Structure 1
Amino acid sequence: MDIPQRCQEIRAQVEGELSATHDEEARTEILVQGLYQLNDLVLAEMGKPGRSERYLKGQSAALDLIVFLALPLVRVKSGTRDLVSLLVEVAEGCSDPVLEKKLTGYAKQVLSQSQREEGAAQGSSGIGWYIAGTAAVSVVLISYLLLSLQPPKRTSVLSRDGGPGARSETTVSQPLEITPYRPPVPHENGAPGAEAPAKRAMKVEMGEHLTKIKVVASQVLVPVIVKNGGESVKVTLLLDTGSTRTALGEQFAAKLGVDLTRARGSLVEVADGRVLHSKLATVDVVAVGSRALPSFELEFFPYNGSDQGFDGFLGMDFLGRQRYQIDVENEVIRWF
């Protein structure tokens, strides 16, 4: 059985059980058991992170299931200490950095919310045990985070399936940093004078594929061309290594001839905690500069990013299949 099918079966089972009860404690227990099933039947079977289409589909399905199971628990903060411990436990057994980041992010969110409430409630009866308990859980979480590999950093205003950032030379499992590109400078012995570095820089650039980008407030904005059925649109996407999928505002679907009424449904989580319904549809080509991927599944969601300067997100389903470097100083992506 493949990972997407397992995720679908777990979700269907949980949805069926949730629909049969309105008791909050019972619903919480159903979601908790779903997280344990996610851990035992999905995360344990995913294997080593990779960039194959099969792996990325499994990663995407697992990320959807994490959002579906964990987000309701995070919102109600049911059993704060136990919930943080559970999320950390599941994250600890996860070898995928994108999924691990999502789980630890939820754990940190619960801790942050509970600590803010503690500050507001100081002096009230019974607060001593709660502060002590939360502090103990904080130590567990912080210790885990220090021992873990650092997940990719995010710079997006939206926190999506996995969850933004930018990467110098990237694979799915490596952390990412944006660093200025500096061409190699020849040795002083025999150096042809002040013009040598400029000549060397020109040789490097001439031999590489480049894509012009914009870097605004540490956010990398990338020009992307999407083609489908003879139609083509040029959009600006935020480079987002925390996102499993590449996503586009749903207003572009009609321009590309995509019928969203027939598209597969999914969910996208935004920064304020809301979960929006989205649609998944395959387009003919998604291209960034000289790099193009055919038969590409895009996520369309309710978003008008005109005020923020970008139309969606360039996620790991595209970036994870490339080797590249972000040259912040010259505002280009260098493809290898």
Structure 2
Amino acid sequence: MIRVGVNGYGTIGKRVADAVNSMPDMELVGIGKASPNHTADAAAERGYDIYVPDGREDRWDDVGMAVAGDIEDLIDASDIVADATPAGMGAEYRPIYEDHDTPALFQGGEGADVAEASFTARANYSEATDKEYVRIVSCNTTGLNRMFAPLHEEYGVERASITLVRCRGEHAVISADPVGLPSHHGPDALEVIPDMGPVMTMGMKVPTVRHHFHGINVELGAEPSAAEVRDLLASQSRIHVVDGDLGIDSGWELQEFALDRGRDRMNLYENQIFEDSISMDGPQLHLFQSIHRESDVVPENVDAIRAMMGEADAEESIELTNDVMGIGDI
């Protein structure tokens, strides 16, 4: 049984905690939480032990919320920590994890230099084996790598150009995008699959929530038919090819799709590739996909934990994670 601490209980952290708690080979030690708010109250209702930054215990006492200890107690009690703190804080926590001799995995908001390897389970699971520090690449890069890996194995990826339409979240927040080329997603994809051809990514943020969209052009090393590409992508457990007959053509309809199928928190762990968008022109593949920004990296965290602890190979871990979380059942 792998004892896992989750440091950070925001959008990603709460979902990682739920996933870890559901795994038969893992025990959730507890969660790290800075503020005693409604999400902390929900965590307590789920039975999760809460650990807080040293010196903040009084804030929790004042509102009558019990804590199990401070963050360093959580680190000490864990075999491994999934760091889901806000972007940049993971790098600040790494020396603390090192001081406690506790391995840790980080999220895509951290730079590549925070870890020994960047990770997507479908593409480079073995790279994380027995590593002390691993970074799960961002939700967008995870989605790209899940698509790139089978295409590169089957046909070769000569080059790729992707336009990312990224949800900005809060409508009142002023976005600096588009800014600079490439966005970080292309270089990050090559961190995971380094023998692909060039990957150029451009990103812009728009005032929508929950879903990112990718307009994708990939030059393949072969000229398969659109049907062959469709079948290859549909065979991947963390890719869902959205049937054109379903009439889904927006992020909100995807969320309704998830809700109607009983997905907790409206989670869509799989890439959502729109079937009618898949087309081939010689070696040029074009398609359109959607990525749920809140959940697609969650199974990657679970698989990275097993890889880092040397507990399972890629096929075993991915199959177990998918089975427990219901991934691929939509």
TM-score normalised by length of structure 1: 0.28
Structure having the larger proportion of residues in helix: 1
